[in-house]
Every structure is written in structure tokens, then in C-alpha cells.
């Protein structure tokens, strides 16, 4: 059995991290699947998903780390075509990645105690986002 | 239902990025699956897959960013065994990753408008590559 | 068909890389699946999975590269809450990622000749770890 769901998110702009764990768990329950996988996919080229301990320190640290490795700047080739100042957003999103699968066992996401599913906005302005959750089982 | 397909690619060497979206979509149609997932896997330890806006600026930016973070060099431990000058290729490929899943809905890959599936050659010479596409549904 | 298995690992601490390929292949055989996917998931927020050529040089290079990009330090926001000195561990694990799928064809993992499935300990001390392997087919 395969079910798709769309999660709608409003983001506050660059570096806004949101905990999706509760919402993904609710969709697993809605799908009624006991054993399988939950796949989480960030639609769009300037957002990403992943897992992290969701707490205020790391909420700052993850976007700060990405900005240090891939700094905001006008020097990216991407700017030649678009002049929209978000070359770093594309690269950060590609590096963190849009796709994550989490096991589902006995109807529950299998995660570590301090491991949450997150969405990270990498674009430079607030965006409406869609995360596609696919439950297989 | 599960179908595997092999995509054969010829790459031009280090940093060559290719858009696989059309070819993966064609395989989804060949599989005849309406709802499920398409999994894309880069065989080999010096190539990667991911998503990005496929345009000439980012075609330069992604490999340039990886070369800045993980520079070509003879100082990697990998060189002690192999002396083939591609230690950075291995590390870049591992960091970007070989595995990507994309939802399939109504027979179509679910991607953002500016979000394409790409293969990135990280090795230092042209290679023949196999990408394994697995369609589940 | 979907089967879950728990792989138990004992790690030696920060940067300890272990080759899981043989153990994952054994679970694919135990599941009796000929065609499908094997999903490998690192439970916990300070460990990661991936693929790499498993050899002594890269065993040093991968953790060294992550430590260069995301250095151990007390300056991470994460330290404010926890003071446990592993802010970099969380960020390294998130960047490399906890989730990997590998195609299974004719009962065998489809990997390049020099491409192994690895677990990387990013935490600063030895840990007992669980890797969840989900075989679909």
C-alpha cells in the first residue's frame, strides 16, 4: 500500500528550521500502515529535509554552519541568470538534500530519542512550501 | 510492483553534471506505475545523484563549491594506497550521496518547477556510469 | 513484502567507520527478497550512514574532512543547553545523513565494485548503535 500526503508549511525565510516529526507521525497513522517506510520529500530547489535533535542551539547551528560553508554572496554563477541573490540557497539545499526515508514499525516512526525530522528553508525569503510524505507498507 | 532499470551515462570527467529528469520520467512511464516512488542510485564510489535547478550557473557552482570544501590534492590518505589523485572525488561523492527517492503521483515525478534530478561525476576522468532506477508502486 | 531488522553495532567513538555491506547483504538473503530495495537507517542524531570505498586511507579521510568543515569546538549553540562537547557531532551526522537506499537485484545489493555501505560514528565517545535495515520487495 502506498499513500501520498502533502504537508503545507509557511516558512519565515533563510535558515528557518521546522520540526515535522509530529505531522509525519500523524500521516503514518492516517495511512493505517503498521510496517513500512515513510518517505519525506521537499518540493523545490531551495529547501531541504533531514534529521537533527530539534533544540534551540542546533536550530541556530545548522543554518550557521551551512552559511559558513556556502556563504551568501553575489559571486555564484547562478546570479548571472537570475540576479536574485540565492545561489547559496540552491547549493545548501542540494548538499543537505530533499529526500529522507524513515522506517515505520508497529505504526510508529523509528527514530532515536533526540532525532527529529526537520524541514529547512534555505531560500532568502519566506516561502509557502509543500513537503510530500509517502507512506509505504 | 517493483521494476529496475539501468541508465547508462557517459561523463566528461570531474564536475560534469547531467540532467536525468526526462530519462527517469520515461522509465516511470515504461513501468506503468501511477503512484509510488522512483529511486535513483549512482553505482560507483566517485559519482553522486541529487536535485538542483539545472541551469548553466549552478552547473558551475555545485562542482566549484565541492572543490572549495574538499579540494583536489595529494594529501588524502586515500592516495597512499592508490596514487590515483582522486581522494577528493571519493569524499565529494560520499558527501553528496548516491541515493535519492522522488515521489510518483498520477504517473509523474513530483518535483518543484525548478528542481531537476542530476548525476554528478566526481572522478577526475571521463567515465561510463550506470544509474539504477527502481520504480515502486 | 517488507521486513525490518536491527543491526547492533559497538563503535569506538568519534570518526569510527564500519563496513556494513556484508551484514546488510546477509539480511537481504534472510528476507528472501530477489528484487527490491534495502533501506539502511542510523537511529540517533549523532551517527550517519553512507557509501564509500572502505579502505584505510578513506577511513581516515572522511572523518578528517568532516572535522575540517565542522570542527569540534565549544562555540556551537548546542553547547548552551547540553555542555557535552558534541555540537559538531550533531551537525556532521545531519550533513552526511541517516538514510540510504540500495537496489536489490537477483537477491544481491547493487553496488559498485569499490562501493561499500558504511556507518560513521560522529559522537565523541564509544556508543552502542542500532541501524534499522528495511528490505522491500
pLDDT, tens digit, 9 for 90 and up, residues C12-39: 999 999 999 999 999 999 999 999 999 9
Distance CA C128, CA C27 (A): 20
User: How many Cβ atoms are within 10 Å of B87's Cβ, its own excluded?
Assistant: 25
Q: Is the ipTM of this complex over 0.90?
A: yes
List CB contacts (< 8 A) between A35 and chain C: 2, 4
C interface residues, B as partner, C-beta within 8 Å: 35-37, 50-53, 55-62, 64-65, 69, 95-97, 100-103, 105, 110-112, 114-116, 136-137
Q: Is the pLDDT of residue B84 over 90?
A: no
Nearest chain A Cα to C71, which residue? Answer: A65
Q: Is the pLDDT of residue C73 over 90?
A: no
Residue B5: all three cell numbers together: 532499470
- Domain span holding position B55: 2-136
Query: Measured between alpha carbons, how far is A104 from A21 in angstroms, rounded to an integer?
Result: 12
Distance (Å, whole) CA B107 – CA B113: 17
Cα–Cα distance for residue pair C18/C126, rounded to 1 Å: 13
Task: Locate the chain C residue with the closest alpha carbon to A105.
Answer: C4
Q: What is the pLDDT of residue B40?
A: 99
- How is residue A89 annotated by DSSP? H
pLDDT at B124: 97
CATH number for C21: 2.60.120.460
* Residue C81: per-residue pLDDT: 80
pTM: 0.98
Residue B58's pLDDT is what?
A: 97
The full DSSP string for A21-77 is HHHHHHHHHHHT-SSEEEEEEE-STTEEEEEE--SHHHHHHHHHHHHHHS---S-ST
> In this complex, do B41 and C65 lie within 8 Å of one another by their Cβ atoms?
no
- pLDDT-derived band of residue B73, with 50, 70 and 90 as boundaries? confident
- C65 to chain B: which residues are within 8 Å by CB? 70, 91, 95
Nearest chain A residue (CA) to B63: A91
Note the pLDDT tens digit of each residue in B9-39.
999 999 999 999 999 999 999 999 999 999 9
Tell me which of A118-127, B42-51, B80-89, C56-65 is least confident: B80-89
Give chain A's domain count.
1
A72-119 pLDDT, tens per residue?
A: 976 899 998 888 899 999 999 999 999 999 999 999 999 999 999 999
Amino acid at each position: 500500500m502506498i499513500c501520498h500526503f502533502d504537508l503545507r508549511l509557511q516558512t519565515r525565510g533563510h535558515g528557518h528550521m521546522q520540526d515535522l516529526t509530529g505531522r509525519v507521525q500523524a500521516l503514518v497513522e492516517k495511512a493505517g500502515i503498521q510496517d513500512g517506510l515513510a518517505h519525506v520529500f521537499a518540493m523545490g530547489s531551495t529547501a531541504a529535509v533531514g534529521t537533527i535533535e530539534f533544540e534551540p542551539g542546533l536550530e541556530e547551528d545548522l543554518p550557521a554552519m551551512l552559511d559558513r560553508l556556502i556563504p551568501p554572496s553575489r559571486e555564484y554563477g547562478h546570479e548571472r541568470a537570475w540576479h536574485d541573490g540565492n545561489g547559496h540557497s540552491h547549493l545548501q539545499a542540494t548538499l543537505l538534500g530533499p529526500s529522507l526515508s524513515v522506517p515505520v514499525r508497529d505504526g510508529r516512526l523509528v527514530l532515536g530519542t533526540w532525532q527529529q525530522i526537520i524541514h529547512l528553508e534555505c531560500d532568502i525569503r519566506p516561502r509557502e512550501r509543500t513537503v510530500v510524505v509517502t507512506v509505504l507498507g
